[in-house]
C-alpha cells in the first residue's frame, strides 16, 4: 500500500494504483500519541535490514527510505542497516535507547510517508 502511494506520488509513469491496508503517516503509526510501538518498529526495521520485501518506490531513496539493494557496496555503510538509509538506522537506535520519539524522528518518518506526497497523487486508486 504505502509503496504504491509513494510510487504514484513520485513517478509520473504510474497510471493507476490499488493500495489496500497501509499507513498514511509512518511517524503516527510507529509513535501514536508519542508511545513508541517497539514491536511494530522492530518488525519494520528487522524486515528492511534483512533485505526482504519490496525494493522501494520511485522516490529518491525508495519507499520509506529503503535502498534498492539489500547489500551495500558503500564502505561507509552502517553495518546491520541493510536497505535502510543510515539516518533511519540512527533514528531507530536513538528512539530505541530513549524509549520515545523526538521531533527529528517524527519529521524523518513523516517525510518518508504517503502523507508527504498525498497532494501529488493524481492517479486512480
| pLDDT tens per residue across span 45-77 | 888 766 544 444 334 444 455 444 444 455 455
> What are residue 84's phi and psi, to 5 degrees?
-80, 150
Cα 70 to chain center, whole Å?
15
- Those residues whose C-beta lies under 8 Å from the C-beta of residue 119, and which sit 6 or more positions away, are none
pLDDT at 31: 94
Are the beta carbons of 38 and 55 closer than 8 angstroms? no
Residue with cell 502523507: 115
Domain range holding 61? 25-65+75-116
Instruction: Determine, yes or no, domain membership for 125.
Output: no
Q: Helix axis angle, 86-98 relative to 38-50, nearest 10°?
A: 150
pLDDT at 54: 42
Instruction: Determine, yes or no, domain membership for 41.
Output: yes
> Into how many domains does the chain fold?
1
Q: Please, what is the average pLDDT of the chain?
A: 81
Instruction: Determine, yes or no, domain membership for 91.
Output: yes
Instruction: Determine, yes or no, domain membership for 44.
Output: yes
The residue with greater pLDDT, 33 or 74, is 33
The stretch 19-40 carries a mean pLDDT of 92
Instruction: Determine, yes or no, domain membership for 53.
Output: yes
Instruction: Determine, yes or no, domain membership for 81.
Output: yes
Amino acid at each position: 500500500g504505502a509503496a504504491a502511494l509513494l510510487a504514484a506520488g513520485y513517478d509520473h509513469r504510474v497510471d493507476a494504483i490499488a493500495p489496500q491496508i497501509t499507513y498514511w503517516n509512518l511517524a503516527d503509526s510507529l509513535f501514536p500519541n508519542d508511545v513508541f510501538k517497539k514491536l511494530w518498529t522492530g518488525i519494520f526495521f528487522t524486515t528492511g535490514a534483512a533485505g526482504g520485501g519490496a525494493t522501494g518506490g520511485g522516490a529518491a531513496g525508495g519507499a520509506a527510505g529503503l535502498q534498492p539493494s539489500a547489500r551495500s557496496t558503500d564502505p561507509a555503510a552502517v553495518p546491520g542497516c541493510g536497505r535502510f538509509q543510515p539516518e533511519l538506522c540512527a533514528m531507530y537506535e536513538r528512539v530505541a535507547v530513549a524509549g520515545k520519539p523526538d521531533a527529528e524522528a517524527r519529521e524523518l518518518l513523516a517525510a518518508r510517508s504517503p502523507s508527504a506526497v498525498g497532494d501529488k497523487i493524481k492517479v486512480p486508486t
